[in-house]
Amino acid sequence: MKHIILVPLFLFLFFISASAQTLSTPRLIKCWEIGGISQTTKAEATYADLRLHINRKAYSQRVKELDEYLNKHVNKRLEVRVMMYRILGKQELNIPLTRTDTQDMRHAITLAGLLNDRQLLSEVYSLYGERSGLAENLFYDLKAIDIQNDIGASHFSMLWLRYLSVSKALFHTSDFEQSIRYGKECLALMKSPVPGVMDYLLQLDVLGASYWQLGNADSTAYFYRQIGSILSHYFLGNDTYKNIWAGIDKGGEGMALFLQRKYTEAKPLLQQNVASSFSTGQWQDAAKAENILARIHFTGKKYDSALVEWRNTLQWATRGSNLLLAKNAVGGIRDVYETTRKYD
């Protein structure tokens, strides 16, 4: 198969629903004032326009004009959409969210509830949940999934993102079986990597890691091999991304070999994963592979190497905010000290 240049779903929506020009403030208002079952598709086209033409100056001007309009025209539905536009724009421009932004999202939940619009409410649930802590992420994304499935999945072209978010969150709560359940539903909704190749790869990674946690070598290998297959058929647009995911693919193969106790074969694959992830600042993934290398060395009674690797795991997992890996590393360090009786 020839390499395929992926076009994200939002570009398809854009070409269907928007002109080649950046949408004007009046046109945004016209799109957002619409309720009913088609509102999500139309709103997503405007957010696609924002992503495609993101520019700090233009974004700031658009937000200013929208706020001025709202000051003169009370419209709860429009107020919610403007808030969503503002948050998504900040995300695209890498502008940190503030406490006021969090309060605005909560206020938007209240407004959508007052409008008695479950569809709009589900969108705000997703926006807020995915920018919150683990517990709220799960709570609001699960509520969004329930509402959107009840209305009809066909009206929510990005529903798979909710499943990906829940799958990731469940993994971090160590509920690996449920993480797998939601992860498989995500892939079923996407059907192929085309809607979002990076998200598809991430979901494969979560599935492979979940099966590894459950000790299932065959399924671990299966999902990580799919990553390798995608890399050979799809163009990611950046060699750095390809190198990162190639390392993850190799690391996944190493994880499966570890479960099969084929440590000699697993080590170079895991080391390749650590090197590629470390060089690009992918701390969670570097920690994941380093943790397994430490366990291999501990099993082989190479305690000094295991201790260094678990210390690395703890440091990198902390930088990547991965509590599960940090906990594993602390347990490994304890095992080394208890086995060697060296506590200095």
Taking Cα atoms as reference points, which of 342, 344, 316, 341 lies closest to residue 328? 316
C-alpha–C-alpha distance, residues 182 and 149, integer Å: 13
Q: Is the pLDDT of residue 195 over 80?
A: yes
Q: pLDDT value at position 52?
A: 86
Where does the pLDDT of residue 344 fall: very low under 50, low under 70, confident under 90, or very high at 90 and above? low
- For the segment 210-236, the average pLDDT, to the nearest whole number, is 93
Joined tokens for residue 9: 């779903």
Taking Cα atoms as reference points, which of 24, 47, 34 lies closest to residue 117? 34
Q: Is the pLDDT of residue 320 over 90?
A: no
Q: Is the pLDDT of residue 13 over 90?
A: no
* Per-residue CA distances from 316 to 65, 86, 290, 319, 323 (Å): 44, 33, 9, 5, 11
C-alpha–C-alpha distance, residues 172 and 322, integer Å: 8
- Fold designation for 158-261: 1.25.40
Most confidently predicted of 43-47, 230-234, 264-268: 264-268
What stretch of H or E contains 235?
Answer: strand 234-235
Q: Taking the CB of residue 191, how many other CB atoms lie within 10 A of it?
A: 10
- In the chain, what are the domain boundaries? 1-151, 158-261, 281-344
Joined tokens for residue 21: 């020009």
C-alpha–C-alpha distance, residues 23 and 187, integer Å: 32
Query: Which residue(s) pair with 175 in the sheet?
Result: none
Q: Do the beta carbons of residue 179 and residue 210 sit within 8 Å?
A: yes
Q: pLDDT value at position 19?
A: 38
3-state secondary structure of 234: strand
Q: pLDDT value at position 321?
A: 86
Outline where 191-282 has alpha helix (H): 197-213, 217-233, 239-259, 263-279
- For the segment 254-278, the average pLDDT, to the nearest whole number, is 96
From first CA to last CA, the distance across the chain in angstroms is 57
Where does the pLDDT of residue 201 fall: very low under 50, low under 70, confident under 90, or very high at 90 and above? very high
Joined tokens for residue 83: 């808030």
C-alpha–C-alpha distance, residues 126 and 149, integer Å: 14
C-alpha–C-alpha distance, residues 306 and 89, integer Å: 44
- Pairing of β 234-235 and β 4-5: parallel
Q: Do the beta carbons of residue 124 and residue 148 sit within 8 Å?
A: no
Calculate ∠ Cα 156-237-289, nearest 5°.
Answer: 85
Q: Render the burial of 260-285: b for 16+ CB within 10 Å, e for the rest.
A: eeebeebbebbbbbbebbbeeebbeb
Q: pLDDT value at position 12?
A: 40
Where does the pLDDT of residue 329 fall: very low under 50, low under 70, confident under 90, or very high at 90 and above? very high
